[in-house]
A and B are shown apart, each in its own frame.
Chain A
Amino acid sequence: MTREKVLKSVLWFFTGILATVTVARFLKGLGATTALNDATPWGLWIAFDVMSGVALAAGGFMVAATVYIFGRKEYTPFARPAILTAFLGYAAVSVGLLYDLGIPLHVWHPIIYQQYHSVLFEVGICVMLYLTVLFLEFCPVILEHSCFRHPLFRKVHELLKSFAIPLVVAGIVLSTLHQSSLGSLFLITPYRVYPLWYSPIIWILFLISAAGLGLTVVITESLFSSWFFRHKSNLRLLSHLARAASVILFFYLALRLADLAARGQLGWVLTGSWQALVFVLELSLVALAVILFQSSRIRTSSVGLSIGALLSIAGVIGYRFNVSIVTFSRPENMSYFPSWIEIVVTLGIMAGALLVFIFFVEHLAVFPSESEVDEPAFAHPSASLAVNDPLTMRLLLPESIAAVRRYSLAALIGAALAVSLLSENVRSGAFDLKEPVSPPLQVTGSSEPSTGVSSITRLLAVFRERQRYESDSVRLFLIDGNRNGRLVVFDHDAHAVRLGGQAACATCHHENLPFRENTSCRECHRDMYSQTDIFRHPDHVQKLNGNQGCVRCHTEPGMIKTRDTSLSCGTCHTRRPEASRIIQSNEEGLKGLAPGYMDAMHNLCTRCHRMMVEESPADYERAFAECAHCHEEQGSSYVHDLGPYSAEGKL
């Protein structure tokens, strides 16, 4: 009993998480909830829920073909569970797709807007049709239930049974088409799929690997069911399936390597890149499964079977992942790792599908009735009663009520936990990024700088110009706040001289930190793009004498104590500098918020430069107020030469 309670509780827990996360996903959109980016438009949901999900559900058509087309009636016990697994697998694929689609309400559009040149169109239509076929194939099992005794249902049942063979043939055709087409999806991306995975026959490889995978999934599912429902598994038949799977998977491996060799791409394995390692790992998983299944002793033990099956599943799913995410080329600094929301959605859908599977098995004749059951009482859990213990005051609850309480509590904990785990950004739908400003590099010296810096043309020019009329040391700032290589060479001293020496400091340095004089820009404008909070609450608490001082700013003690409800800085700090022609003070400044570094600098420098161009066009060309006048694009190589720059690393 416990394995049932534990597993179901865990599954309900994940379903509870899924419920909360679903609300977040559909209210806040993909950007807030996933780690997808412009370089990785397809992530975990496509690679696992859709691509791997379809492949995992390939057991349905494989077993259906074996039993109904090839007439191997001894495999009939696998037919119903395999078709149920396939049906639920495809249902899970469809649900997963709804999460991934940007506009899930338009999911039916391929039916009315046909686009025959798109592989995805073919996949979509095939999956829709196959889901219907699987439903019709499984319908007779549902209609066997005692609540469908009405003659009309019996008629439908008879009708469906008579259509069994055409349905199976249709299922095989549809499966062949879309299992292969999932591979064809990547034919159009020869520039992005790594050469070890790209192949003109990738669709054949996808089909064959899915066929092999389908059989190993049937093995896994059968072993799981026999463990969970305490059936005896038919190891002899399973070992036959394993042998068939190993033949198919061997053929897949051979074809894959032969194709690479024939096109002369096998050399990529020897390059030692991480992709090559992944390739070797992926293929060796499948190869190991093939080798394990050669031994009839391993093949007839349930442990050996499960290890081999899991290895091959990992290998073939790895193939899907590697093609679509892992080795799919993307620019640097645009890496992708699924967000926790993506992961729990995937887990939640799987958990839900598994719960439905268990429900169907418990209530319908999915497994052949003649199979031996270890504990007959377990077949009807609703009939059993909870043991009443008067000492612990346990309620006298029949299992059917206790189960609902137990599993709803598990789902409740999952849902509440997920609510608390949703980050502030997901809840508010905000997308602000933190990008701390890195300090400018100060270059001083009386001669030309070292070789590392010499590629900066403007720096050199300034140095030369200044050396012509000044013999003392030169001080320059290399400003690159977000370190993207677009740096500004800022001649501080020249600006000071031009603006009028010591008296002009405040033209730019409009505010200083307490008891300081030469506060630099980035000490307040600490973030590259977003506002910085420069108000220091602890300092004020100390200064204003602890709890006694709260009312000095939070004048209404009953109101919630926030920045909005308290006095603005200017009420006490009356001697703050006035807004000048260049510096503009804004609302946020009065609340202790400093604008982002980029905005602050652009407002300061560009405003002044533009004014110069406007006021004296004779002295200053139009380019004086353009980006390229100050910003200098540098290759990344020089950054390595400037020690302090690279030492901190890009955030």
Chain B
Amino acid sequence: MESLLHFARGPGFLFAFAFMVLGLLRHLFLMIWQIARTYIRAGDKSLPYSAIAISSLEWMFPIRKLRDQPVFSLTSIIFHLAVIIVPVFLLGHIELWQRGIGLAWPGISNSLADVLTVVAIVTGLALLLQRITARATRSLSRFQDYALPLLITIPFATGYLMMHPAINPFPYTLTFLTHLVSANLLFILVPLTKLSHMALLPGSQLVSELGWHWPRDAGSRVAASLGKEGAPV
């Protein structure tokens, strides 16, 4: 158990975290590279830049969405805020960063962290529930759409138990190990699943807008790869 713990907080964490950071950088790099490439090849180079900027901002700060779908949007916003704030601004985590790389930043109080943790768990489960109940989302969902919210609740739940050892029915080290392993797993999954939206979201509107400006020979390429060259469309 101790050696597993040692691995999970040492090499395991390093691999997962480095994989996440470098993987997100890779995504960004590839995105920029492909945007440039598509733009150069695009038949129509005119782009509605202001519209793209506005819709990007709308996606990043979904205030307007609150009107259309108040319950879902509110849950989602609160969930995202909690999920970002707690791990990054928890005093204990900051302490770890301070020791590891010598960087520290102001954190939130532990009581606020407790509240936000519970909020994150509850909103995460609520989002999952909404996804299952609404027919439109259910039909669009893949396996990862159900698995990821569940996976995200694990480090929060175990983290809460570690903060309150007195109410923790499980052995401390087991709780700790679960916390570490689930968090590491999430880090690894970030660049591989839809979690990569944390880096790709700002550019997504530009990409989708650019996507309509097909390269000049795009049609023939699609036909070629489908093996239907020359066939009538």
**Interface of A with B (CB < 8 Å)?**
20, 385-388, 396, 398, 401, 404-405, 408-409, 412-413, 415-417, 419-422, 424, 541, 546-548, 550-551, 556-560, 562, 565
- For the complex, give the distance between the alpha carbons of A483 and B168 in Å: 48
User: Which of B10, B29, B92: most chain A Cβ within 10 A?
Assistant: B92
CB distance A420 to B91 under 8 Å?
no
CB distance A558 to B15 under 8 Å?
no
Residues of A within 8 A of B12 (CB): 420
CB distance B165 to A550 under 8 Å?
yes
CB distance B23 to A412 under 8 Å?
yes
* Known contacts A409-B26, A417-B15; is-contact A385 B92 (Cβ 8 Å): no
User: Which of A422, A550, A560: most chain B Cβ within 10 A?
Assistant: A560
- Decide if B208 is an interface residue (CB 8 Å cutoff): no
CB distance A405 to B225 under 8 Å?
no
- Decide if B210 is an interface residue (CB 8 Å cutoff): no
Residues of B within 8 A of A421 (CB): 11
- Decide if B164 is an interface residue (CB 8 Å cutoff): yes
Residues of B within 8 A of A558 (CB): 91-92, 110, 113, 163
Residues of A within 8 A of B168 (CB): 547
CB distance B11 to A385 under 8 Å?
no
Contact of B165 among A408, A424, A548, A559 (CB under 8 A): A548
Chain B min CB distance to A1 (Å): 15
**Interface of B with A (CB < 8 Å)?**
10-12, 14-15, 18-19, 22-23, 26, 29-30, 33-34, 37, 91-93, 95-96, 110, 113, 163-166, 168, 171-172, 191, 221-222, 224-226
Chain B min CB distance to A193 (Å): 40
- For the complex, give the distance between the alpha carbons of A547 and B170 in Å: 9
Name 12 extra pairs, CB < 8 A, besides A416-B19, A419-B18: A388-B225, A388-B226, A396-B225, A398-B221, A401-B34, A412-B191, A416-B18, A424-B10, A548-B166, A550-B166, A556-B110, A560-B96
* Known contacts A387-B225, A396-B222; is-contact A559 B95 (Cβ 8 Å): yes
Residues of B within 8 A of A547 (CB): 165-166, 168, 171-172
CB distance A412 to B225 under 8 Å?
no
- For the complex, give the distance between the alpha carbons of A565 and B94 in Å: 14
CB distance B164 to A416 under 8 Å?
no
CB distance B95 to A560 under 8 Å?
yes
- For the complex, give the distance between the alpha carbons of A409 and B226 in Å: 27
* Known contacts A547-B172, A557-B164; is-contact A405 B30 (Cβ 8 Å): yes
Residue on A nearest B114 in the bound complex, by CB: A558
Chain B min CB distance to A427 (Å): 8
Chain A min CB distance to B211 (Å): 12
- For the complex, give the distance between the alpha carbons of A421 and B22 in Å: 16
CB distance B22 to A412 under 8 Å?
yes
Residue on B nearest A19 in the bound complex, by CB: B22
- For the complex, give the distance between the alpha carbons of A412 and B196 in Å: 15
* Known contacts A396-B222, A420-B18, A559-B91; is-contact A408 B166 (Cβ 8 Å): no
In the A-B complex, the 6 residue pairs with the smallest Cβ-Cβ separation, listed nearest first, are A558-B110, A420-B15, A560-B92, A419-B18, A416-B19, A420-B11
- For the complex, give the distance between the alpha carbons of A398 and B38 in Å: 12
- For the complex, give the distance between the alpha carbons of A401 and B191 in Å: 18
Q: Could you list 5 A-B pairs, sorted by A, with CB under 8 Å? A: A412-B22, A546-B171, A548-B166, A559-B92, A560-B93
Residue on A nearest B90 in the bound complex, by CB: A558
* Known contacts A547-B165, A550-B165, A558-B113; is-contact A385 B224 (Cβ 8 Å): yes
Chain A min CB distance to B88 (Å): 15
Residues of A within 8 A of B93 (CB): 560
- For the complex, give the distance between the alpha carbons of A401 and B160 in Å: 44
- For the complex, give the distance between the alpha carbons of A396 and B227 in Å: 13
Residues of B within 8 A of A562 (CB): 95
CB distance A408 to B26 under 8 Å?
yes
Chain B min CB distance to A392 (Å): 13
Chain A min CB distance to B181 (Å): 14
Residues of A within 8 A of B96 (CB): 560
- For the complex, give the distance between the alpha carbons of A408 and B27 in Å: 10
- For the complex, give the distance between the alpha carbons of A609 and B54 in Å: 81
Residue on A nearest B111 in the bound complex, by CB: A558
CB distance B14 to A420 under 8 Å?
yes
Residues of B within 8 A of A420 (CB): 11-12, 14-15, 18
- For the complex, give the distance between the alpha carbons of A330 and B128 in Å: 66
Residues of B within 8 A of A559 (CB): 91-92, 95
Contact of B163 among A386, A424, A557 (CB under 8 A): A557
Residues of A within 8 A of B191 (CB): 412
Residue on B nearest A417 in the bound complex, by CB: B15
Contact of A419 among B15, B91, B113 (CB under 8 A): B15
User: Which of B15, B22, B34, B168: most chain A Cβ within 10 A?
Assistant: B22
CB distance A415 to B224 under 8 Å?
no
User: Which of B26, B168, B224: most chain A Cβ within 10 A?
Assistant: B26
Residues of A within 8 A of B165 (CB): 547-548, 550-551, 557
Residue on A nearest B93 in the bound complex, by CB: A560
- For the complex, give the distance between the alpha carbons of A20 and B17 in Å: 14
Residues of A within 8 A of B225 (CB): 385-388, 396
Residue on B nearest A390 in the bound complex, by CB: B226
- For the complex, give the distance between the alpha carbons of A562 and B91 in Å: 13
Chain A min CB distance to B155 (Å): 15
* Known contacts A388-B225, A420-B11, A550-B165; is-contact A404 B91 (Cβ 8 Å): no
Residue on A nearest B92 in the bound complex, by CB: A560
- For the complex, give the distance between the alpha carbons of A386 and B222 in Å: 11
- For the complex, give the distance between the alpha carbons of A558 and B222 in Å: 57
- For the complex, give the distance between the alpha carbons of A398 and B37 in Å: 12
Residues of B within 8 A of A415 (CB): 18, 22
- For the complex, give the distance between the alpha carbons of A386 and B18 in Å: 30
Chain B min CB distance to A437 (Å): 23
- For the complex, give the distance between the alpha carbons of A413 and B26 in Å: 11
Residues of B within 8 A of A548 (CB): 165-166
Chain A min CB distance to B32 (Å): 12
Residues of A within 8 A of B224 (CB): 385
- For the complex, give the distance between the alpha carbons of A409 and B23 in Å: 8
- For the complex, give the distance between the alpha carbons of A20 and B113 in Å: 35
Chain B min CB distance to A425 (Å): 12
Residues of A within 8 A of B226 (CB): 388
Residues of B within 8 A of A386 (CB): 225
CB distance B11 to A413 under 8 Å?
no
Chain B min CB distance to A591 (Å): 15
CB distance B166 to A404 under 8 Å?
no
CB distance B15 to A408 under 8 Å?
no
Chain A min CB distance to B100 (Å): 8
Chain B min CB distance to A450 (Å): 44
Residues of A within 8 A of B172 (CB): 541, 546-547, 550
Chain B min CB distance to A15 (Å): 13
- For the complex, give the distance between the alpha carbons of A421 and B33 in Å: 30
- For the complex, give the distance between the alpha carbons of A363 and B112 in Å: 59
CB distance A551 to B166 under 8 Å?
yes
- For the complex, give the distance between the alpha carbons of A558 and B224 in Å: 61
- For the complex, give the distance between the alpha carbons of A386 and B221 in Å: 11
Residues of B within 8 A of A412 (CB): 19, 22-23, 26, 191
Residue on B nearest A424 in the bound complex, by CB: B10
Residue on A nearest B23 in the bound complex, by CB: A412
Residue on B nearest A396 in the bound complex, by CB: B225
